[in-house]
Chains A and B, each alone.
Chain A
Amino acid sequence: MSRKYLDIFCCEAQERLASLQSGLLVLERHPGRKELLEELLRDAHTLKGSARMVSLDHISAITHSMEEQLKEMEEGSRSIDAAGIDLLLKGSDAVALITSAISKGETPALDLERFLDEYSKAAGVSPPSPPSPPDSSDSSDSSDQSDQPEQPSETVRAEVKTLDALVNLIGEMIINKKRLEVKLSRLREIAARSDQETAALLFEFRRQLEEDVLCQDYLIQELHEKALALRMLPLKSITDGFQRLVRDLCQKLGKEATLVMTGGAIEMDRVLLEGLKPMLIHLLSNAVCHGLESPAERRAAGKEPRGTVWLTARHEGNWVVVEVRDDGRGMDPARIRKTAVRQGLIGEREAEELRDEEALYLTLRQGFSTAETVTDVAGRGVGMDVVKKNVERVEGNLTLTSEPGRYLEVSLQLPLTLSVLEALTVESGGETFVVPINYLQEIVKVHESEITTTGDGETIKLRGATVPFFSLGALMGLAQPVAGDGSRCTAVVLRHCDQRMACAVDAQLGTSVVVVKGLGKQFRSVDFVFGATILGDGNPALILNVPDLFAAGGAESRQISRRGRQAVAPSRARVLVVDDSATTRAMERNILIGNGYQVETAVSGEDALEKTAAAEGFDLILTDLEMPGIDGFQLTRLLRASERYRDTPIVVVSSLAGDADKQQALEAGAQAYIVKGAFDQTAFLDTVRTLLS
């Protein structure tokens, strides 16, 4: 069978299965609505017919059985109850499984013969004889079709790739328009410098050109909107399975719940929707497993025994807000504080200082889980932190609100599309950066005298609140000159979840809509960077990932101040980095230099011995273990044996993660051991700092 037809079949099957599933779930709740059966029968029948066309006998056999079951329900010889619906769902699940395997070109992970056998037995329907000549149902099918006059099609199918290319091309037009705008202002300068007569002509010419550019701008905007709309899909397209999910979870956990979905018609970029689905599944599972109480508990608390979970979506400006809310037990800040302290996420004092609203956000930290029993679906320790990360990946925001015993609401603020975003352009250290506007609270002028230096960094007062203060460039580890006279500087105040921070920049260049471009495959996920855009002058600028800035600001325990140079001045410690991998050398070197250390590198154990013998010694040595020639173990032992480096801290940074290697390295005389796979810049710097202090 040709691949092309199989692909078409898979597409069709997905649609039919989604319709079957949601239809069955409605039928379960309203067994009296027999008219629903008609639709279901049609879906099952069409699926059977299509499966035969592409010789997928197993699918046609399963759907045949489903069709028979549905017919019996229609005739009244089979009752419409949970068991009956379950059996039908099981059938549609199996078809979905086979289809998805086919579309990926794999063999389905299901013993088809056995399943078919069992399924027909359970259904009490005799399996059809698959390779038989076209039976009556097929012929009726074809006659059905010939009876209907052919309808002219109002839609066309387009490849997603084509649509994406279209949007990209229009993105190029937007960038080009920006270039024209830059040229227009150049033209004004030229006119100003010309003699009077020419100037008058040029001004007039420029005015007309400006009009043309404006007109083109308008057209491009409209074209862009239209093109984006092509990529938009309704939220409904991903929520089909959610009723089923909630139903199955409830059955498994002995709970009762109604899922109320509103705003299914709201449209979002296809790419975003794909990312949203797993997040919503996670949030809904959480709501049912952890949020909702058992019927007995609810009754005791004076609530309806049947809980409600709401999934709502609505527009808010250029954003879509998707909320998952349940009327369950809510989140208890006291309990969260206790759990977080027990799991070692924060200290006791720190926990006490948190306001109740802030304490909720502890659940977003990696490793947090309140579920006392690890269930099949949630409470595995990967959870809300993953949702948060995914929301951040699309430059969105996540808010938690709860009242203990009453409700929990998780609100995701998401952009409509990822292809353009509204952003503020800033200059810092000779570089241009772009900050997505949704993270921007305000832009302030800060005078030198308004900056307070505390034990762990600099802060400014903002309407009574203390806000940490950083230099944007230094925060990202980009070395940069200290700007101007320094008496007054511009700072952008950023917000994320419940946090605020102020970043000093050299200049802010206003907001505009920028086209988002990826950095290409040479870059995987890069810290601080969401993407890049091309400015009006044709030069690229990075689009910053603001959550990363907050992570760096918090994680560095605010060691990097606005004047990176000043704050780290006392620690001009000399560090030797020994590694045979150029990447590791470069990475460690960059991190250390970015934090004010002096760094030398050595490419081998031999090289390291030579360098340590030089007049200017080192205050700390970082070494790899596996190197050709003198390896890390030996190097450590040799240095320990020398008079000069007997007490110098040595840190092993190795990809060997075994306990035996760690043991051996420590025995050789290393003070700390960092595993490369789990390489974490913060932990790395903390280790270096601790050993040097």
Chain B
Amino acid sequence: MALEDEAYDISAILSQMREEYWQGLAEEEPAPKELLECLVFTLAGASYAFETRHACEVIRIPKLARVPAVPSLITGIFNLRGEIAAAMDIRPLLGLPQPPIGAAGRILVVKAKSFATGIVAEAASGVQGLCLENFQAELGEAGRPFLKGQFLHQDGAIMLIDMEALLASPEIMAGV
């Protein structure tokens, strides 16, 4: 009997679901804070980030084959699922020291206009929504190269890398 009752109640259930659906939508509307979705990782012991739209994937550091006669920035090439990609240590570009890369080291694969390339990081801590309210932009001329600014948090700052400028920079190109 109970089965039959429920069967007859289908339209009521549907209308209830519709109600909940609309309520759900209404609840999402008041977005409290503006967030920037970023990939956060470690360079020279500090936290750095760039917007996820540049990121393709994060991988463990595979075997890198060294390439002769290229800028030291390019530490080697690796097999990115059948294609060859470069791995770059961008720390000198940002004026950072280069502590050794350990077991937590990762390659952040990013997509430039015409190629994919890997950025070597000491560790990657994943994707985070960073609150734009806490963002402090780098100041014009005095700004450090390839940095957009920093997110200030209680537990330290996260530097935001200008990935667009970095990927378009002639300094990451090899060969003539």
Contacts and interface: CB of A to CB of B under 8 A. Distances in A.
B131 interface: no
Interface string B98-118: 000000000000001011110
**Which applies to chain A's interface (DSSP): helix, strand, loop or mixed?**
mixed
A213 interface: no
Interface string B67-81: 111111110011100
B63 A522 contact: no
Contact of B65 (A172, A525, A527, A532): A532
Given A523-B174, A524-B175, A539-B62, A172 B82 contact: yes
A180 interface: no
Nearest to B92: A582
Nearest to B172: A522
- Which of A431, A522, A524, A586: most chain B CB closer than 10 A? A522
Given A477-B68, A532-B65, A520 B84 contact: yes
Contacts of B77: 519, 532, 540, 542
A519 B65 CA distance: 12
Given A517-B84, A522-B112, A541 B65 contact: yes
A478 interface: yes
Given A517-B84, A521-B115, A582 B175 contact: no
B165 to A, nearest CB: 13
Given A523-B174, A525-B176, A532-B77, A583 B71 contact: yes
B62 to A, nearest CB: 7
B86 to A, nearest CB: 5
Given A522-B174, A581-B171, A476 B68 contact: yes
B44 interface: no
A681 B176 CA distance: 12
A528 B86 contact: no
Nearest to B77: A540
Contacts of B70: 523, 526
B85 interface: yes
B156 interface: no
Contact of A582 (B67, B73, B74, B174): B73
Nearest to A681: B69
Interface string A345-371: 000000000000000000000000000
Given A532-B84, A534-B82, A538-B79, A522 B173 contact: yes
Given A520-B115, A521-B114, A529-B67, A582 B171 contact: yes
Contact of B170 (A172, A526, A539, A583): A583
Given A528-B69, A534-B79, A581-B171, A523 B63 contact: no
B92 to A, nearest CB: 6
Nearest to A542: B65
A595 interface: no
Contacts of B170: 583
A520 B84 CA distance: 6
Interface in B120-162: none
A406 B37 CA distance: 75
B66 interface: yes
B12 to A, nearest CB: 55
B59 interface: no
A388 interface: no
Nearest to B114: A521
A542 B76 CA distance: 10
A401 interface: no
Interface string B3-43: 00000000000000000000000000000000000000000
B64 to A, nearest CB: 8
A587 B176 CA distance: 12
Contacts of A432: 65
Interface in A493-547: 517-529, 532, 534, 538-542
A540 B65 CA distance: 6
A538 B63 CA distance: 9
A175 B83 CA distance: 12
A654 B143 CA distance: 25
B65 A526 contact: no
B56 interface: no
B69 A527 contact: yes
Contact of A519 (B72, B86, B172): B86
- Which of B68, B73, B170, B174: most chain A CB closer than 10 A? B68
A590 interface: yes
B93 interface: yes
Nearest to A476: B68
A337 interface: no
A171 B63 CA distance: 21
Contacts of B92: 582, 586
A589 interface: yes
Contacts of A518: 84
Nearest to B116: A520
B172 A539 contact: no
Contacts of A538: 62, 79
Contact of A540 (B84, B93, B116, B173): B84
Contacts of A586: 71-73, 92
A542 B85 contact: no
A420 B133 CA distance: 55
B112 to A, nearest CB: 7
Given A519-B77, A522-B117, A582-B73, A431 B66 contact: yes
Contacts of A172: 82
A526 B68 CA distance: 8
B71 A587 contact: yes
A376 to B, nearest CB: 30
B79 A539 contact: yes
A522 B119 CA distance: 13
A520 B83 CA distance: 8
Given A522-B115, A524-B175, A590 B71 contact: yes
B72 A540 contact: no
A526 B67 contact: yes
B61 to A, nearest CB: 12
A260 to B, nearest CB: 40
A427 to B, nearest CB: 12
Interface of A: 172, 175, 431-432, 476-478, 517-529, 532, 534, 538-542, 581-583, 586-587, 589-590, 681
Given A476-B68, A534-B82, 13 more contacts: A520-B117, A522-B117, A523-B67, A524-B173, A525-B175, A526-B68, A526-B175, A527-B68, A527-B175, A540-B79, A542-B68, A582-B93, A587-B71
6 contacts: A476-B68, A478-B68, A534-B79, A582-B93, A583-B173, A590-B72
Closest 10 CB pairs of A and B: A524-B175, A476-B68, A527-B69, A521-B115, A526-B175, A586-B71, A521-B114, A539-B63, A586-B72, A583-B171
